[in-house]
Chains A and B, each alone.
Chain A
Amino acid sequence: MTREELQAQLPELAPGSTFEEGGEWLNMNVDVSLWKNFSHALKFTLSLDFDYLFCLTCVDWKTHLTMVYHFTSTTHRHHLVVKIKLDRTTPQVESVAEIWRTAEFHEREVFELFGVEFINHPDLRKLILPDDWEGFPLRKDYEDPINMIKL
């Protein structure tokens, strides 16, 4: 599907979503409460068939966190970027590890580096950092005088 066709069809699946202008691919802002059903629809609607999650990450905007999912379809070759705004004090979002299994590792990485809790994740533990690590290193207000990562 072209960008315009996606833009016409997707709001039916996630009412109230907004689209961002510009960008290489279609950027869609989805409300966190809709994500569980919408993620299912993205994968299992035949005309969409977003089966390849090639990038999953998070951005700290100081006032809130934003989850960013990059999808593509190996059959239709169209792209979509989904963004979900999360509360910064208790960030919670539905896990998609059941749908795209690559998300299992990516979500564990976001969990320890940003402190986002993924609901219904099969195995939400620290992946990279030691188990007793405190704080979330990729957040903007993270300070660690011993392990300096700022230059």
Chain B
Amino acid sequence: MNWTVVQRILGLLLMMFSLTMLPPIAVSLIYDDQSWLPFVEGFGLTLVAGILIWLPVHRSRKDLRLRDGFLVVAAFWTVLGTFGAAPLFFADTLTLSFTDAVFESMSGLTTTGATILTGLDELPASILYYRQQLQWLGGMGIIVLAVAVLPMLGVGGMQLYRAETPGPVKDTKLTPRITETAKALWYVYLTFTIACASSYRLAGMGWFDALCHAFSTVAIGGFSTHDASIGYFDSGVVDVVAIIFMFVAGINFSLHFFAWRYVSIKHYRQDPEFKAYALMLVALSAIVVITLYQHRGVTEPGQTFINGVFHAVSIATTTGFTTENFALWPAALPVLLIFSSFVGGSAGSTAGGIKVIRWLLIYKQGAREVARLVHPNAEIPVKLGNTAVKPRVVDAVWGFFSVYVIVFGVMLLAMMATGLDQVTAFSAVAATLNNLGPGLGDITSGFMSLSDTVKWISVAGMLLGRLEIFTLLVLITPTFWRH
């Protein structure tokens, strides 16, 4: 383990992160909401902490190794969740406990979107803006951002990038230089954000709401500036804009990049994961809409249709926006929707969950076993598109899947041990581990009623979900620390 280099990068990243507390100050001054002080304090605290960590080792010029990469990413997300909580903790208008502040900040950064705040509509603009910005930074990955703007990370950038990017195959680079790849991803992300904000504005939101919701939409986060979430706007057009951008943000960003570079949609059409992703959303939407029609009748066909599709896309991509309380929906719909969040978006997108490509590979392997029963001597590779998937990748998918299930089980039991009922505990774990946000039972509107213990378990779940478990899990294995 190369402590000095880990420490140096950690310090640098913290200093960089402290800069993200400056825009809320500007927002505070523009809207004159008198709450710029907590951000100044947060900025100072983070910057000083970063400098204190960085200064003793700033001359260290060693290269980052693979193992250091895991440590930096895991440590950075943990530290970030804590420092990101600082302005929320300092804010007089909120009076949050430390636990609540960390929960809110972590929920933002991991793009979960679960909240412990109520009365959002009354809060100062700067604090609302800050929550949305946290989601936006966490969406594409703040480390990917760091790789893009700190070229001196060099080769080490790849190690960091790999530890943060979701998906089973992490070796593909869009461009030869990792810095350029990271930049390309952020450009695509930025473009979507601007497009989304403009669309929301055209759909009737004010600029502030449009920008804030654009942040949490393309990040697949789910934070809103209103208690009623997107439902506040009560507008079918806003819903449709949200559906489009949630759908787009759940697609692998390399596909967007290629579409942008070669100006063609060929790459979408050829990508098996995209096809499966689209098919899943269409099927899910159909089921939801038809079930709603059956139970509510066809009185408001247009609104019911949009509502059904909106929730299907919002929950399946793990965004977590709502326009009404879906926990009260008929039949199996609430549980079906929660289940769909286990699929999540595509690998390399901003979505959470297990990711479509892993389910696709698991499905294909199941199909292979069936084919083997019929043709015992056949050689049947697992194929994605036209290329055979390496057994190593398939193994890794199974490994991930089983660990996901085990982690889920352990967290579920831990929450129930604190006295939570099964439905609430189940949906709380799904909401955090899948980076979804809303749940069923006691947490349909937020996590505020839960005990501190449950909140800390949830924080761990969000982190595990965002870093796809292994990056964190590897740190608690003895092998990792053995020299």
Q: Are A and B genuine complex partners?
A: no
Which residues of chain A have a CB within 8 Å of any CB of chain B?
A: none
